[in-house]
Amino acid sequence: MTPPSGLVDPADDVLRRWNPRGWMGLHGPAATGVRVVGVPGSGAGTLAAELRHLGGPDITDEGRAVTLVVLDPSATIGRTELDLVRAAAAESIEVVCALTGIDRFPDWRAVRDADVEILQRHASWLPRVVILPVSAAAARRARELEDDASEAVRQTLFTASGLVELRDVLAATVRSSHDPRRARAAVVAATRPMIEEEIGRLSAEDEEGDLRAERSRLIAAAPPATSGPDLRRLQVTLLQEVAMRVRAASTAAGEVLETADADAVVTTIDAHVDDLCARLTDETARIAPGTPAPEPTRTARPPQTARSMEDTLTVVFGASAGAGLGRLLLTPFGDLPGWMSLVVAIACAVPAAGWLMRIRRRIAYRDRMRRWIADELATVRAELDTWIRTRIHETELQSTALAVAARDRHATRVRERVAAIDVEITRRRGERRARIAACERDLAALGHIPEPQGAGVRPTG
Based on the domain organization, do 125 and 177 belong to the same domain? Answer: yes
Which residues are bridge partners to 96 per DSSP? 68
Which residues are bridge partners to 95 per DSSP? 67
Is residue 197 in a domain?
yes
CA-to-CA separations, 60 to 96, 151, 252, in angstroms, rounded: 15, 29, 116
Based on the domain organization, do 144 and 287 belong to the same domain? Answer: no
Is residue 223 in a domain?
no
Give the per-residue pLDDT at 75.
Answer: 85
Is residue 455 in a domain?
no
CA-to-CA separations, 270 to 59, 235, 241, 267, 382, in angstroms, rounded: 116, 24, 17, 5, 16
Is residue 4 in a domain?
no
Based on the domain organization, do 262 and 192 belong to the same domain? Answer: no
Is residue 375 in a domain?
yes
CA-to-CA separations, 404 to 166, 399, 409, 415, in angstroms, rounded: 84, 9, 9, 16
Based on the domain organization, do 274 and 336 belong to the same domain? Answer: yes
Based on the domain organization, do 186 and 249 belong to the same domain? Answer: no
Based on the domain organization, do 254 and 177 belong to the same domain? Answer: no
Per-residue pLDDT 10s for the chain (461 aa) are 444 444 445 677 888 888 777 777 676 666 677 888 888 877 788 888 888 887 777 777 765 678 888 888 888 888 888 888 888 877 777 888 888 888 888 888 898 899 889 988 888 777 778 888 888 877 777 777 655 556 666 667 767 777 788 888 888 877 776 667 777 777 777 778 788 888 888 888 888 888 888 888 888 877 766 666 678 888 888 889 899 988 998 888 888 887 777 788 888 888 888 898 888 888 888 877 777 878 787 777 666 665 555 655 555 555 566 556 555 555 555 555 555 556 655 665 566 666 666 666 676 777 778 888 888 889 888 998 998 898 888 888 888 888 888 888 888 999 999 999 999 999 988 998 999 998 888 888 887 544 433 333 333 33
The number of domains in the chain is: 2
Query: What is the distance, to the nearest Å, from the Cα of residue 349 to the centroid of all Cα atoms in its chain?
Result: 100
Where residue 34 sits, what CATH number does that domain have?
Answer: 3.40.50.300
Q: Quick one: which of 389, 377, 341 has its CA closest to 239?
A: 389
Is residue 224 in a domain?
no
Based on the domain organization, do 160 and 249 belong to the same domain? Answer: no
Q: Could you tell me if 137 and 43 are in contact, meaning their C-beta atoms sit under 8 angstroms apart?
A: no
- Report strand pairing: 94-100 vs 131-134: parallel
Based on the domain organization, do 366 and 430 belong to the same domain? Answer: yes
Is residue 194 in a domain?
yes
Longest dimension (CA), the chain: 198
Give the per-residue pLDDT at 320.
Answer: 61
Based on the domain organization, do 184 and 269 belong to the same domain? Answer: no
Helix and strand totals (H; E) in the chain? 14, 4
Q: Please classify residue 405 by burial: count the beta carbons closer than 10 Å to its beta carbon, then call 0-12 exposed, 13-18 middle and 19+ buried.
A: exposed
Q: Quick one: which of 165, 177, 171, 170 has its CA closest to 135?
A: 165
Which residues are bridge partners to 70 per DSSP? 38, 98
Based on the domain organization, do 58 and 23 belong to the same domain? Answer: yes
Long-range contacts of 211-214 (CB under 8 A, 24+ apart): 211/421, 211/424, 211/425, 211/428, 212/425, 214/417, 214/421
Long-range contacts of 354-361 (CB under 8 A, 24+ apart): 354/315, 354/318, 355/318, 356/314, 356/315, 356/317, 356/318, 356/321, 357/311, 357/314, 357/315, 357/318, 360/310, 360/311, 360/314, 361/311
Give the per-residue pLDDT at 89.
Answer: 77
Based on the domain organization, do 151 and 260 belong to the same domain? Answer: no
Show the CA angle centred on residue 269, arms to residues 267 and 270, nearest 5°: 65
> Residue 166 sits in which domain range?
12-205
Beta strands in 232-346 (DSSP E): none
Based on the domain organization, do 140 and 56 belong to the same domain? Answer: yes
Element (H, E) at 100: strand 94-100
Give the per-residue pLDDT at 165.
Answer: 82
SS3 372: helix
Is residue 213 in a domain?
no
